[in-house]
């Protein structure tokens, strides 16, 4: 243990603890900027400098381990003057158009400016010297270098959490910047649009592309019928932007809010998540049958899930030889979109050309996914606009709704019914659990042998999870699976996806079915979720997801009455010709740089 003094108070911490963390245990707040709980220490912004008695210079508290006998002062004149200078220097290279900025009032630099740099600024603006260059090429987010303060959180995110490194620090000195490969547009590099960088950018340099105005226009267009779907992970995080603590479920209030915003029909992506399980589960069983019974050696196993558009783009760029291993199922968002302008339009007797299909997603990559040319199987753009959880919160605020005091209400029908299996899609392991709940029952006629249907081994924050399910007592049609051990794996965060893919490439992946989500924690940690994010926050959201599941009457996708109905009335059966037309897709190989 290490003993030191901070602001004359004694503190004892474990070896390796930073001065910053030691101060936190005393409730002494030291401002930080480049520091982020999810990322490695950088020590480059210098906002967190403190004075160490006897040291020649100030020290960066985030990057300095506590040492025995240290005498630290966090609030001396020297420290405060240096901090003011540092914040002002950052402001001098930052285009402070705060009142126009999407991140206004949710900007860490702005907060620091409020504390340290109000009044006239000392330094000259350097912005005129850097030509203002905003990269709007990606449908998911924009990158504005004139607001970048070079904290490198985005670079660390892209390399440490996602192992994509679509962006890197380039050049040096005054010309240093965050750059893609040779400054190419973000739409033309390996970027997966996952938005994890957006979640961690302390300023407005990286923000999602917003389609709020387009959605308002549609809502107020009397000719349009606007349907909205909400992804499972939105309901456990939206509250954070509206005054709730992380982990509060606000499903009912969210539905009411959407109705009050003026959407004609408020529906649930959970419905198409259940549908995904039917399609994907059947696809898996079919592949297994082909491999095990028909002896077809060309069957691609393991089969990978295809719900996460960041993951899809990742594999298209980095491991295209395994595209046949991807489930051909569209994501729930896109299944919903294809059905909204076909099945829903028909049932409700609405001209599909008048339908505007909006989705609320915890995700920035979904904006890209909706734009993919493959996603027009209804004959129209299947999903017109994708809004993030954050954008929905903005709309709720714009509408002046008193969110906390809204009544709770239920989703509309049709395509508003859901099960617990669909809800857990929002957390890593959820798709796997939902799939197993259904597939096991199809094959054996019995429920999965886990208490309360909770398949604990596939849950939690472990980067790569593995499980083996022994299949026993098969019904006649699936007898060939009798005694088989179904091996599954789950990865979240592309750094973990990369591990699985390297194993697969080297022939060391013994799995039949693998669930992969691009974001840490799965969709609950998606790039469109409220800011800030950290492990604690994500754990709370995850808890809320499983609690939502536990509170549902229906817990298995195949029990969803609307899913049953759509097969009877429209799709015939899972993996039918019609299903393939509307609910399945194909993938493209992309450059690896």
Partner 1 sequence: MENKELTKVDLIFEKIDNTEVLKKAFNMTQAGIIQDMLDSGLKGRGGAGFPTGLKWKYTAAENSPDKYVVCNADEGEPGTFKDREILDRVSNKVHGGMVIAGKAIGAKKGIVYLRGEYRYLLPKLMPELEAFHKLIKEIGFDFEIEYKMGSGAYICGEESALFESIEGRRGEPRNKPPYPTVSGVYGKPTSINNVETLVTAMMIINHGPQKFISYGTKDSRGSKVFSVSGDTPTPGIFELELGMTVLQFVDEFGDGDTKAVQVGGASGFCVPRKKFAETIIGFEGVPTGGSMKLFNSSRSMYNVLHNYLDFFAEESCGQCTPCRVGCQQLLKGVEKVKKGEAKSTYLNELTKLADTMKIAAKCGLGQSVGNAFKSIVGNFREEIIY
Partner 2 sequence: MYQVGNLVRELSDKHGRVRESLMPILQGIVQKHNYLTDEAMVEVARELDISAAEVYGTASFYTFLETNVKGKYVIRVCKTITCSMKGKSDIIQTLEDILKIRVGETTTDRQFSLVETNCIGWCHKAPAILINEMPYTELTPEKVSAIIKDYMQK
The catalytic residues are 280, 283, 307, 327, 366, 369, 374, 523
C-beta of residue 427 within 8 angstroms of C-beta of residue 546: yes
Q: Which of 379, 377, 335, 333 is nearest to 358 (CA)?
A: 333
CB of residue 144 vs partner 1: minimum separation in angstroms?
18
Please work out the total of residues on this chain that contact partner 2, with binding judged by CB under 8 A.
18
- Binding partner of residue 550 among partner 2, partner 1, none, CB cut-off 5 to 8 Å per kind: none
Q: Which of 105, 376, 408 is nearest to 255 (CA)?
A: 408
- Binding partner of residue 398 among partner 1, partner 2, none, CB cut-off 5 to 8 Å per kind: none
Binding residues for partner 2 restricted to 164-193, rule: CB under 8 A: 164-172, 179-182, 189-190
**Integer CA distances (angstroms), 441 to 213, 330, 344, 453, in order:** 45, 23, 29, 11
- Binding partner of residue 179 among partner 1, partner 2, none, CB cut-off 5 to 8 Å per kind: partner 2
- Binding partner of residue 57 among partner 1, partner 2, none, CB cut-off 5 to 8 Å per kind: partner 1
- Binding partner of residue 159 among partner 1, partner 2, none, CB cut-off 5 to 8 Å per kind: partner 2
The yes or no reply on residue 93 touching partner 1 (CB under 8 A) is yes
Residue pointed to by tokens 């985005």: 154
CB of residue 174 vs partner 1: minimum separation in angstroms?
5
Q: Which of 215, 219, 544 is nearest to 394 (CA)?
A: 215
The yes or no reply on residue 47 touching partner 1 (CB under 8 A) is yes
- Binding partner of residue 593 among partner 2, partner 1, none, CB cut-off 5 to 8 Å per kind: partner 2
The yes or no reply on residue 58 touching partner 1 (CB under 8 A) is yes
Peptide bond into 414 cis (omega under 30): yes
CB of residue 25 vs partner 1: minimum separation in angstroms?
21
User: Quick one: 172 or 470, whose CB is closer to partner 2?
Assistant: 172
DSSP string, 64-95: -B--TT-EEESS-HHHHHHHHHHHHHHHHTS-
- Binding partner of residue 468 among partner 1, partner 2, none, CB cut-off 5 to 8 Å per kind: none
The yes or no reply on residue 138 touching partner 2 (CB under 8 A) is no
**Integer CA distances (angstroms), 64 to 30, 37, 153, 275, in order:** 13, 16, 19, 52
CB of residue 561 vs partner 2: minimum separation in angstroms?
48
The yes or no reply on residue 57 touching partner 1 (CB under 8 A) is yes
CB of residue 63 vs partner 1: minimum separation in angstroms?
4
- Binding partner of residue 592 among partner 1, partner 2, none, CB cut-off 5 to 8 Å per kind: partner 2
Please work out the total of residues on this chain that contact partner 1, with binding judged by CB under 8 A.
39
Distance CA 289, CA 299 (A): 10
Binding residues for partner 2 restricted to 186-225, rule: CB under 8 A: 189-190
User: Quick one: 9 or 505, whose CB is closer to partner 2?
Assistant: 505
Single out the segment in contact with partner 1 by CB under 8 A; choices: 82-90, 239-247, 249-257, 377-385.
82-90
The yes or no reply on residue 41 touching partner 1 (CB under 8 A) is yes
CB of residue 183 vs partner 2: minimum separation in angstroms?
8
- Binding partner of residue 63 among partner 2, partner 1, none, CB cut-off 5 to 8 Å per kind: partner 1
Single out the segment in contact with partner 2 by CB under 8 A; choices: 162-170, 343-351, 521-529, 537-545.
162-170
User: Quick one: 189 or 258, whose CB is closer to partner 2?
Assistant: 189
Single out the segment in contact with partner 1 by CB under 8 A; choices: 53-61, 99-107, 302-310, 536-544.
53-61
The yes or no reply on residue 92 touching partner 1 (CB under 8 A) is yes
DSSP string, 330-397: PPHHHHHHHHIIIIIHHHHT--GGGEEEEEEES-SHHHHHHHSTT--TTSS-S--EEEEHHHHHHHHH
Across 100-213, the runs of DSSP E, i.e. the strands, are 134-135, 141-144, 168-170, 177-179, 206-208
Distance CA 586, CA 106 (A): 39
Q: Which of 456, 514, 511, 450 is nearest to 486 (CA)?
A: 511
CB of residue 262 vs partner 2: minimum separation in angstroms?
43
C-beta of residue 151 within 8 angstroms of C-beta of residue 44: yes
The yes or no reply on residue 320 touching partner 1 (CB under 8 A) is no
By residue count, the chain amounts to 593
CB of residue 240 vs partner 2: minimum separation in angstroms?
32
The yes or no reply on residue 63 touching partner 1 (CB under 8 A) is yes
CB of residue 170 vs partner 2: minimum separation in angstroms?
4
The yes or no reply on residue 592 touching partner 2 (CB under 8 A) is yes
Q: Which are the contacts of 8, defined by CB distance < 8 A and separation ≥ 6? A: none
Residue pointed to by tokens 């409020």: 114
Single out the segment in contact with partner 1 by CB under 8 A; choices: 75-83, 400-408, 448-456, 502-510.
75-83
C-beta of residue 434 within 8 angstroms of C-beta of residue 422: yes
The yes or no reply on residue 361 touching partner 1 (CB under 8 A) is no
C-beta of residue 43 within 8 angstroms of C-beta of residue 86: no
Joined tokens for residue 7: 């602001």
Single out the segment in contact with partner 2 by CB under 8 A; choices: 16-24, 158-166, 224-232, 354-362.
158-166
User: Quick one: 85 or 543, whose CB is closer to partner 1?
Assistant: 85
Distance CA 298, CA 541 (A): 40
Strand 49-52 and strand 59-60: pairing?
A: antiparallel
**Integer CA distances (angstroms), 410 to 145, 267, 297, 573, in order:** 43, 9, 48, 28
- Binding partner of residue 284 among partner 2, partner 1, none, CB cut-off 5 to 8 Å per kind: none
Residue pointed to by tokens 């909400």: 230
Residue pointed to by tokens 């039917």: 278
Distance CA 67, CA 19 (A): 9
CB of residue 173 vs partner 1: minimum separation in angstroms?
4
User: Would you tell me which residues interact with partner 1 (CB under 8 A)?
Assistant: 41-47, 49, 56-58, 60, 63-65, 78, 81-82, 85-86, 89-90, 92-93, 122-124, 126, 129, 149-150, 152, 169, 171-176
User: Would you tell me which residues interact with partner 2 (CB under 8 A)?
Assistant: 159, 164-172, 179-182, 189-190, 592-593
């Amino acid at each position: 243990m290490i003993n030191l003094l901070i602001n004359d108070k004694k503190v004892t911490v474990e070896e390796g603890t930073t001065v910053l963390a030691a101060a936190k245990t005393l409730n002494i707040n030291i401002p930080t900027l480049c520091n982020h709980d999810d990322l490695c220490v950088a020590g480059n912004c210098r906002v967190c400098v403190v004075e160490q008695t006897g040291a020649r210079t100030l020290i960066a508290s985030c990057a300095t381990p506590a040492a025995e006998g240290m005498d630290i002062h966090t609030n001396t004149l020297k420290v405060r003057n240096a901090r003011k200078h540092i914040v002002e220097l950052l402001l001098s290279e930052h285009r402070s158009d705060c009142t126009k900025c999407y991140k206004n009032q949710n900007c860490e630099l702005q907060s620091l400016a409020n504390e340290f740099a109000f009044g006239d600024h000392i330094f000259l603006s350097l912005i005129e010297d850097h030509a203002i260059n905003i990269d709007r090429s990606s449908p998911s987010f924009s990158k504005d270098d004139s607001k970048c303060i070079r904290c490198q959180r985005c670079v660390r995110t892209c390399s440490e959490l996602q192992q994509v490194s679509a962006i890197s620090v380039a050049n040096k000195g005054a010309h240093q910047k965050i750059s893609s490969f040779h400054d190419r547009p973000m739409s033309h590099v390996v970027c997966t649009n996952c938005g994890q960088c957006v979640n961690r950018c302390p300023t407005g340099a990286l923000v999602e592309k917003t389609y709020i105005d387009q959605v308002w226009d549609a809502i107020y267009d009397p000719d349009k019928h606007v349907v909205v779907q909400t992804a499972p992970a939105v309901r456990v995080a939206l509250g954070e932007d509206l005054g709730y603590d992380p982990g509060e479920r606000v499903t009912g209030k969210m539905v009411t809010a959407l109705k009050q915003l003026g959407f004609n029909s408020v529906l649930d992506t959970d419905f198409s998540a259940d549908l995904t399980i039917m399609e994907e589960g059947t696809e898996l069983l079919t592949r297994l049958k082909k491999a095990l019974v028909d002896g077809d050696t060309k069957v691609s196993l393991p089969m990978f899930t295809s719900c996460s558009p960041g993951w899809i783009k990742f594999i298209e760029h980095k491991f295209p030889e395994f595209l046949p291993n991807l489930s051909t199922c569209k994501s729930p968002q896109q299944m919903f979109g294809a059905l909204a302008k076909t099945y829903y339009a028909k049932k409700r007797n609405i001209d599909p050309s008048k339908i505007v299909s909006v989705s609320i997603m915890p995700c920035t990559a979904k904006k890209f996914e909706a734009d993919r040319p493959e996603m027009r199987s209804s004959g129209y753009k299947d999903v017109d606009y994708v809004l993030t959880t954050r954008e929905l919160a903005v709309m709720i605020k714009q509408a002046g709704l008193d969110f906390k005091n809204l009544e709770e209400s239920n989703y509309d029908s049709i395509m508003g019914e859901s099960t617990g299996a669909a809800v857990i899609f929002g957390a890593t392991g959820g798709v796997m659990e939902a799939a197993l709940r259904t597939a096991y029952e199809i094959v054996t006629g019995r429920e999965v042998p886990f208490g309360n249907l909770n398949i604990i081994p596939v849950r939690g924050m472990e980067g790569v999870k593995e499980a083996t399910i022994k299949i026993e007592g098969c019904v006649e049609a699936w007898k060939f699976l009798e005694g088989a051990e179904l091996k599954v794996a789950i990865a979240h965060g592309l750094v973990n996806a990369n591990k699985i893919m390297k194993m697969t490439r080297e022939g060391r992946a013994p799995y039949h079915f693998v669930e992969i989500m691009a974001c840490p924690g799965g969709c609950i940690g998606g790039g469109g979720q409220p800011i800030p994010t950290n492990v604690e926050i994500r754990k709370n959201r995850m808890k809320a997801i499983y609690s939502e599941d536990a509170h549902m009457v229906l817990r298995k996708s195949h029990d969803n009455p609307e899913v049953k109905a759509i097969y009877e009335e429209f799709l015939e059966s899972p993996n039918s010709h019609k299903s393939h037309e509307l609910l399945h897709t194909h993938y493209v190989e992309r450059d690896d740089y």
